[in-house]
A and B are shown apart, each in its own frame.
Chain A
Amino acid sequence: MSKSITIDGNTVPFEEGQTIMEAATAAGVYIPHLCHHPEFTPHGSCKLCNVKVNGRVCSACTFPAMEGQEVLNNTQELTDDRKLITQMLFVEGNHFCPSCEKTGNCQLQAVAYHLNMLDNHFPLFYPARKVDASHAEVMIDHNRCIFCTLCVRASQQIDGKDVFAISGRGLNKHLLVNAQSGLLKDTDIEATDQAAHICPTGAILIKHTAYQVPIGERIYDHKQIDQVSLDSENPQHGQ
């Protein structure tokens, strides 16, 4: 008999070596996340995927599934905390959805809708951050970076480059690009790189494509992020 855990009381099978997130996704259970992506080494920093495992808070994306785990995921308490964490990400940077070209395709925005976030709740920090539009095809709007490190991991693990890094301590965290000038144009990034497409927010964008897909026809305009996430991260889902 295969091994299993329970998530919100439902039995979920897992294979040795799988994380709770992987087991959940394979079973069609959505656990909200932003810094996790199935193709890359888990990072465990956004903390949206925090679940309760036998009473203890763990990040589902990094914590291994083990026999006997009773996992709580979709509870009011966790949803409330996830909403607060998402609100923290919003007030930390400068996120103005109506004027952002990523709107409708943005995972941060979609998670916020999914968690029924209706305001910022916390006071805004309004940090002074820059835009790097130096590169011909790819641009960075640092205002929207949430330090998920997906671009860092994609560049290293898929593109075989080292274009990005996260630097600084505490609230001074920031995204670095690997060029002496500190500008994207002096790196070896290309518009076809995975790192240029992986950003869950509007921080890294491909130029000249902004409104090719009109608002109203974008990924999250008609589907919730849980459905999109399960469809894309678990190919078997819905079959």
Chain B
Amino acid sequence: MHSFIQDLAETNRYQATRLLSILRAIQTRYHYIPEVAIEQLAELLKIPRTQIISVVEFYSFFHLSPRGQYEILISDSITDHMLGKKGLLDYLSKKLKVAVGEVRQDGVVSLDNTSCTGLCDQGPAGLVNGYALSRLNHHRIDQITALINQQKPLEEWPPELFLVEDNIQLPDLLLAHPIKPGAALTAMFNRGAQETLAEISFAELRGRGGAGYNTAWKWHLCYEGPEEDAFCDIVTQQHQQQRYVVCNADEGEPGTFKDRVLLNTYAHQVFEGMTLCAAIIGADHGLLYLRGEYLHLYEKLQGILEARRQAGLLGNNILKQGLNFDIEICLGAGAYICGEESALIESLEGKMGIPRNRPPYPVTQGYLGKPTVVNNVETFMAAASIAINGGDWFANVGTQKSKGTKILSICGDCARPGIYEYPFGTSIQTVLDDCGASDVLGVQIGGPSGTFIANHEFKRQLAFEDLATGGSFIIFNNSRNILEIVNNFIHFFAHESCGFCTPCRVGTSLLKKQLDKIIEGHGSAGDVVALEELCQLIKTQSHCGLGQTAANPVLTTLERYPELYQSQLKKISYEPGFDLDGALETARRLAKRNDTGAHLAQIEDES
């Protein structure tokens, strides 16, 4: 192990910023991060051991104690549940003879849950040693169990287990007209970098991650530098300043998988968009932050980067126009919060993914403290198309405040889940008709952090001025239980809260408790009011977007179905805040008793 870690540190140039990548390699090889490795790394990287431990404990895919040689994680997205995840997980656990959350005694296999893996259109899904498993069913589980018990290396597993389909159902402006590699850069060199920025500005392209910040303005701010420096000699300042282009491919919002498809089939165009941005803002280094769950795309993407270098589209003197730029891929390690741009930058720097205090914003102080543009995969892709086709081509589509199209990841109760591209302004009803959804109860727009809309609202539109979305679109039919959906989302946020600020760290866990209490039938008068009060506090006082939206599942359904929550409450004025009989469980087990005297009624008149 000693020489492995020595070599690893050397390959990574002893840079602490490479910590995630180093830890990924150690986790893959040893199935955990051994204490001796931490001690050795601390010396080699010249950082305190506590910094390494804190990173290990922060990311879901790192462990301080050994996991199985085959580490199986099953996606816990609501869509996986709708496809029968619970039953399959129980079956898998029984077949493999390992409890969920545990390692089998022989150390061969471990089993656990994980947050949405981005295969909602072909679930129930999972990961084995980080590689995506699709369309799990009893037959596949039997197959997997046999392969694990024979200890077959992953390379010898049947490839269909790992087959991830694109499922592009409805291409439009972007998906139907992919660019030829180099075409956007050629167009940019012909038109001029600042003129190309002007086209992106005419296009009124807004960030596709969900927040919708004006892309051209963001690039402009990064190029110009902070306002207070604007009075300096801009020319010298721009030449001195190191800048970075970062592509946010940490698509963790449950129900979203469009970036998976874009990177699988349109990666050239995404990289071209990044290169375009680099030429405009004056960056020579780009980073693609790829969520750990998309490990299956990593080799392919590296191949495309290499092909682009060979074709003169990356590296030194791109297209012989004097532009120097290259792109590095950094893998995440299981943390939804890293989709938040400043947390993502922290993660790129090898740290815990904790959102920064702002200002300063990344455009002035981002990666390694330098001006940085962080944009979504789809944004870079759109920018590349705009560079070729011009701003008008894009701005002619959409609504007044939302130009162009939006790529949706559609999943849940519909006949044809997959990728759909729509002009902004399209009604929800149109989308539902296209994907073959019937008997619809409601739709979760923008994932758990977005909005739940009921079936009388389907005239509403996809647009920043109405229903904004990063792309997640989950359909529920009338057989679904809203409280179960909300419960899944609230548990997700409590699991993914980074824990930095009090309102989100404690609030999301309190919210989970309070909702469980109501759903389990222990709520009494006042408990729904308390639930809403807690939601408002988390929403208004939290540090970042995660906390500010974590209560949305409750708030948006409580607004639409107040009677649903009220009907869960007991009719008495006071109900003990916890399950009295449940609280005696440990005592019963210790005393080996289960007679009537060892049980307690929740309220006196019940017995």
Q: Mark A161-189, 1 if CB is under 8 A from B, else 0.
A: 01011111111110011101000000000
Task: For chain B, give the interface size range.
Answer: 35 or more
| Interface set, chain B 81-117, CB cutoff 8 A to A | none
Name B48's closest neighbour in chain A (CB-CB).
A162
Could you say which of A89, A146, A172, A176 contacts B50, with CB atoms under 8 Å apart?
A176
Could you say which of A88, A166, A177 contacts B506, with CB atoms under 8 Å apart?
A88
| Interface set, chain B 47-88, CB cutoff 8 A to A | 48-51, 53-54, 57-58
| Chain B residues with CB below 8 A from A146, complex form | 502
Min CB gap B472→A, angstroms: 22
Q: A59, B499: Cβ atoms under 8 Å?
A: no
Contacts known (A45-B500, A45-B502); A170 close to B54, Cβ less than 8 A: no
Residue B400 is within 8 A (CB to CB) of chain A in the complex: no
Could you say which of B50, B503, B509, B533 contacts A85, with CB atoms under 8 Å apart?
B503
| Chain A residues with CB below 8 A from B537, complex form | 81, 84-85
Task: For chain A, give the interface size range.
Answer: 35 or more
Residue A91 is within 8 A (CB to CB) of chain B in the complex: yes
Give Cα distance in the complex from A216 to B8, angstroms. 59
Q: B510, A59: Cβ atoms under 8 Å?
A: no
Q: B541, A169: Cβ atoms under 8 Å?
A: no
Residue A123 is within 8 A (CB to CB) of chain B in the complex: yes
Q: B510, A123: Cβ atoms under 8 Å?
A: yes
Contacts known (A81-B540, A123-B510); A165 close to B502, Cβ less than 8 A: no
Q: Mark A126-159, 1 if CB is under 8 A from B, else 0.
A: 0000000000000000000011000000000000
Could you say which of B39, B499, B506 contacts A168, with CB atoms under 8 Å apart?
B499
| Chain B residues with CB below 8 A from A164, complex form | 50
Q: B357, A167: Cβ atoms under 8 Å?
A: no
Residue A46 is within 8 A (CB to CB) of chain B in the complex: yes
Min CB gap B575→A, angstroms: 13
| Interface set, chain A 48-103, CB cutoff 8 A to B | 48, 50, 57, 59, 62-64, 81, 84-85, 88-89, 91-92
Contacts known (A166-B54, A169-B335); A85 close to B494, Cβ less than 8 A: no
| Chain A residues with CB below 8 A from B508, complex form | 170
| Interface set, chain A 104-123, CB cutoff 8 A to B | 122-123
Q: B506, A176: Cβ atoms under 8 Å?
A: no
Q: B506, A89: Cβ atoms under 8 Å?
A: yes
Residue B209 is within 8 A (CB to CB) of chain A in the complex: no
Give Cα distance in the complex from A176 to B498, angstroms. 17
Give Cα distance in the complex from A164 to B5, angstroms. 25
Min CB gap A154→B, angstroms: 15
Could you say which of A46, A47, A91, A167 contacts B54, with CB atoms under 8 Å apart?
A167
Name A125's closest neighbour in chain B (CB-CB).
B509
Give Cα distance in the complex from A42 to B358, angstroms. 12
Q: A171, B540: Cβ atoms under 8 Å?
A: no
Q: Mark B480-518, 1 if CB is under 8 A from A, else 0.
A: 000000000000001111111111011111100100000
Q: B58, A171: Cβ atoms under 8 Å?
A: no
| Chain A residues with CB below 8 A from B54, complex form | 165-168, 176
| Chain B residues with CB below 8 A from A166, complex form | 54
8 new A-B contacts, CB < 8 A, other than A44-B501, A85-B537, A176-B50, are A84-B533, A92-B505, A122-B506, A123-B578, A167-B57, A170-B497, A170-B505, A176-B53
Chosen A-B contacts, 8 in total, with CB atoms closer than 8 Å, are A45-B500, A57-B540, A64-B359, A81-B537, A147-B505, A168-B54, A170-B499, A176-B54
Interface residue ranges, B against A (CB under 8 Å): 35, 39, 48-51, 53-54, 57-58, 335, 352, 357, 359, 494-503, 505-510, 513, 533, 537, 540-543, 577-578
